[in-house]
Structure 1
């Protein structure tokens, strides 16, 4: 995330034009919100909004730098609204929708972006994917929010680019994995929906299973290795991780694999509706818990939520709670705190409802939030 933070600061301090001012005040609004200085936060929010309105009017000039600054400001205001206890549940969607309109104005289909533009596009795609998941399980969703979640996703890399397999530090996984998550969410139907477990539905689930089985997520350093070392990054990592030591590359591989396992578990449990003890589900959960034990902490909210709801018995729940506590110590300002609350609420619902369909538990705990929660 350090690269993204550095880029946002540079964008905010680059000049005194409206896009930079909008980004600067949006960063300040989020910072004061984190410090619980609400009056100052809302003052900067108002200034950011005024500058953003001016910035949007300047995009037609063809200045790509200003366009990406404006996207960044819109995203930051969107994040502000997801944490705003006083605003409308639609406010975040308004800013996110505005951000995507800007992207559509400047993005060229089938083009591969690099550098700062790719960093911004990947950041937006990551949030877009996880908002899609959140909206699917939030029962107070408005038509505008449903439409936003259904919009085509903008990816910084062309569909056949090998760079889609690279693990991004800003997201914890690859662009290809995020694209698969979007497709999986689209396959999660209510159990009384005639599409659920229809032949076409089962065929689509099987196709995504095969893609998840064959998915390679590679650290950027591993991607530059000679062909003779072309095993998957996870296999290389798991083979070498035998002496209790670790490094940044190992951690990146573990997190990416945790995302893949969470996506696979979500596909089988939510889309297909398989029971907890199914022969396909059990080894995925076992592997995910093993990875979490080796990591000790996990600041990635989405896979933590998916995997925690698969914890079997008090011992596994206690272990997950310890990982959550350690993760909050390491990253107190993230979304893990809200996810921890939802996990504990889900465990209560599971205890009350027994081994019923987990889809109802997802819907209940996600819908218990005033606004669609962020799992980013």
Structure 2
């Protein structure tokens, strides 16, 4: 569980050709990736996720964060970013949202990102996210209990529609 207690340091080496680099944006993006990595860990290996049934974990309380708290943290980071130009962490967050208002915000962020980067990846990833949301919604009994999860997002990839860049 080293991922939960890692200390992140971002080094930025300016270059004459690089132009202006916003240190704040770089740090926000790095933290967004870290939060998404923890969400991905919890989704891939549910035994790693904090549980109410496992009190008294040896990990520090600060390090152990619930999925919903990580999603909230991701949205706070996104609110501080100029634009989200990273499809993978946004996809991971999208797979973990439950509320319609959060889904609407995710769709807005994907739309904004696709306009900024002008690449087709965002459309492919958004199609994948919608397929996952549909599956979760179809499992309405589990969704009401908050336990509806997609075990492997790759089962939703339609190669005719394109493959996400992180697949």
TM, length-normalised to structure 1 = 0.34
2:159 is matched with 369
Offset at 1:283?
1.8
1:211 is matched with 3
Matches within 5 A, 1:91-130: none
Root-mean-square deviation (Å): 2.8
Counterpart-to-counterpart distance in 2, 1:250 and 1:301: 19
Q: Which has the higher contact order (CA 8 A, sep 6+)?
A: 2
1:258 is matched with 32
Residue 45 (structure 2) pairs with residue 271 (structure 1) = yes
Counterpart-to-counterpart distance in 2, 1:275 and 1:351: 22
Q: Once the two structures are superposed, what CA deviation does each residue of 1:260-290 show, in whole Å capped at 9, x if it has no partner? A: 1111011012222578997532221111111
Q: Which has the higher helix share?
A: 1
Cα 1:345–1:276 shift into 2, 3 Å: farther
2:59 is matched with none
Cα 1:302–1:277 shift into 2, 3 Å: farther
Cα 1:351–1:364 shift into 2, 3 Å: same
SS in 2 for 1:283: helix
SS in 1 for 2:165: coil
1:41 is matched with none
Cα 1:283–1:293 shift into 2, 3 Å: same
**What number of residue pairs does the alignment pair up?**
142
Pair member with larger Rg: 1
The answer (yes or no) to whether the contact 2:3–2:38 under 8 Å persists in 1 is no
Runs of 4+ in structure 1 deviating by more than 6 angstroms, as ranges, are: 274-278
The answer (yes or no) to whether the contact 2:136–2:149 under 8 Å persists in 1 is no
Q: Once the two structures are superposed, what CA deviation does each residue of 1:216-273 show, in whole Å capped at 9, x if it has no partner? A: 1313259xxxxxxxxxxxxxxxxxxxxxxxx711111111111111110110122225
Counterpart-to-counterpart distance in 1, 2:133 and 2:82: 21
TM, length-normalised to structure 2 = 0.72
SS in 2 for 1:358: coil
Counterpart-to-counterpart distance in 1, 2:3 and 2:133: 31
Q: Once the two structures are superposed, what CA deviation does each residue of 1:193-219 show, in whole Å capped at 9, x if it has no partner? A: xxxxxxxxxxxxxxxx32342131313
Cα 1:324–1:331 shift into 2, 3 Å: same
Residue 76 (structure 2) pairs with residue 290 (structure 1) = yes
Counterpart-to-counterpart distance in 2, 1:333 and 1:326: 12
Residue 123 (structure 2) pairs with residue 337 (structure 1) = yes
Counterpart-to-counterpart distance in 1, 2:33 and 2:90: 9
Offset at 1:291?
0.7
Residue 90 (structure 2) pairs with residue 304 (structure 1) = yes
Counterpart-to-counterpart distance in 1, 2:115 and 2:50: 31
Counterpart-to-counterpart distance in 2, 1:290 and 1:280: 15
Counterpart-to-counterpart distance in 2, 1:348 and 1:275: 24
SS in 1 for 2:100: helix
Q: Structure 2: give runs of 5+ residues left out of the alignment.
A: 15-20, 53-64
